[in-house]
Amino acid sequence: MSQSPADMPMRFNQSSGGGWHPKDPAVVAGWIAWLRAEAATRNLAEAPPIAALRTLVTSVPYLNAQAEAMFADALKRCPTTPLGQPSVIDFNEFLLLLNVIMQMAPEAYQTYPALEPAGLIGFPINALLNWPMATEFGYTFFSDTMVNERFRAILIYWSRFLTSAASTYVLTETPRKVSPTTIALPWLGAQAQSEMVAVAQQALGDGPNPTPASFAQIFNCDPSQPSYGFGSWDEFFTRTFKAGVRPISAPSDDSVIVNACESAPLQVVTNAQAHDQFWLKGQPYSLADMMANDPFAPQFTGGTVYQAFLSALSFHRWHSPVSGTLVRSFVAPGSYYLENLYQGFVNPAGADPSAPNQSQPFLSSVATRAVMFIQADNPKIGLMCVVAIGMAEVSSCEVTVKPGQHINKGDQIGMFHFGGSTHCLVFRPGVNLNFDFYGQQPNINATNMRVNTRIAVVS
């Protein structure tokens, strides 16, 4: 018996860096073909910040040369699928497709009719740039300060749509075919809800799993209201857990450090240096760059960095890993579509097919990031730092606490808007940390650990 798109089970694989892009390049190629058709049908006037980017690039010869070269090089190098190449033709077409994205919100996808997971285009702009940014021309182009300033304006412009009621269409839309092999599903449909529940229930942590069995029991929402009471895509994306779903491990024990985000462990690095060549293949941490040369940065030289990444279908708010006082916080501007050069086509093993995934340590020093210094109540921890790092479309890292404010372990301290990301916890040298990742090793394919659950004990 055949199944209609509405009846199909949605399945999601958390591997490949949290599932922000489909693993199969044919899915991306099909989506780009659909986006081309949408651009031709809608015939939208060019958004002002996109026009400003066009003017900048066409008026600066070296930027124009890099822009054209990165797309030409990507077309030669990127894989070919039955649906074409998952790369746009040139910079002009990129701007045309980017203009359509300004009136879109991220959707969930599934292959059709094979009933296999396709993932989602959680980073739609990144999907257009995935292969161009892996070229050496793209590395130079996306390193440019003027280019990043224009992209910042574009992302701010897009955020107006993502925070508007118009963006809720992806929450309740009728399942539809995007390409001959892919369908889009509503986020609040039964299939997507069941997958978000599964991702929440699979998260590891301390003690019994407190995660209920339904979306409405896990997250604060009202199923009796249109779009469950979510007024925009961003409200849905930044949804909160119901009380008790993510309990705080050992709330009165200041030796226990808890997970700051619902996230999967990527790596732990000791003896991190104040200055290092963070763009190299090994991607060592460069603390001064990570902390934007803040006066506190030298205190962390020789210390420990723990990094973890967030899942596409999970929770995107940050909670304090310790009890203490917020001493200082700021958002450091940075790049949006820059990846480690050695995770691009320079790599003999081939370019990272999901651009930001393998570049997360590198991005801790170059991407837009919120830096929060917390003086822990436990003197064995002392001053520590939470760095929330925006990747690709994440143009808003919002800190929700004020300097001088005392924070209890597990209290919210901020959130990511619109897209996925990664974060670091940084400790000074001499802090003796015993990490527990619940039977797994930190790596790009690790499983989420629950926010507020114990991840380390200081002794």
pLDDT of residue 12: 30
pLDDT of residue 71: 95
When pLDDT is cut at 50, 70 and 90, the band that residue 279 belongs to is very low
When pLDDT is cut at 50, 70 and 90, the band that residue 111 belongs to is low
Q: Check whether 309 has a pLDDT greater than 80.
A: yes
pLDDT of residue 78: 85
Quick check: 134 and 74 in contact, CB under 8 A?
yes
Q: Check whether 66 has a pLDDT greater than 90.
A: yes
Of 83-92, 173-182, 269-278, 289-298, least confident by mean pLDDT is 269-278
pLDDT of residue 80: 84
Which residue in this structure is represented by tokens 């070269």? Answer: 69
pLDDT of residue 254: 98
Of residues 426 and 313, more confidence is placed in 426
The pTM (predicted TM-score) of the whole model is: 0.88
Of 200, 100, 31, which Cα lies nearest the Cα of 22?
Answer: 31
Q: Please state the rounded mean pLDDT for residues 185-210.
A: 91
What are 359-384's pLDDT values in tens digits?
555 666 567 889 999 999 999 999 99
pLDDT of residue 404: 98
Q: Check whether 15 has a pLDDT greater than 50.
A: no
When pLDDT is cut at 50, 70 and 90, the band that residue 209 belongs to is very high
pLDDT of residue 1: 29
Of 4, 7, 314, 1, which Cα lies nearest the Cα of 191?
Answer: 7
pLDDT of residue 396: 78
What are 400-418's pLDDT values in tens digits?
999 999 999 999 999 998 7
Q: Which of 22-36, 219-233, 281-295 has the highest mean pLDDT?
A: 219-233
Q: Check whether 32 has a pLDDT greater than 50.
A: yes
pLDDT of residue 115: 43
What are 223-269's pLDDT values in tens digits?
999 999 999 999 999 999 999 999 999 999 999 999 999 999 988 99
pLDDT of residue 40: 95
Of residues 98 and 283, more confidence is placed in 98
pLDDT of residue 8: 29
pLDDT of residue 393: 66
Mean pLDDT of the chain: 86
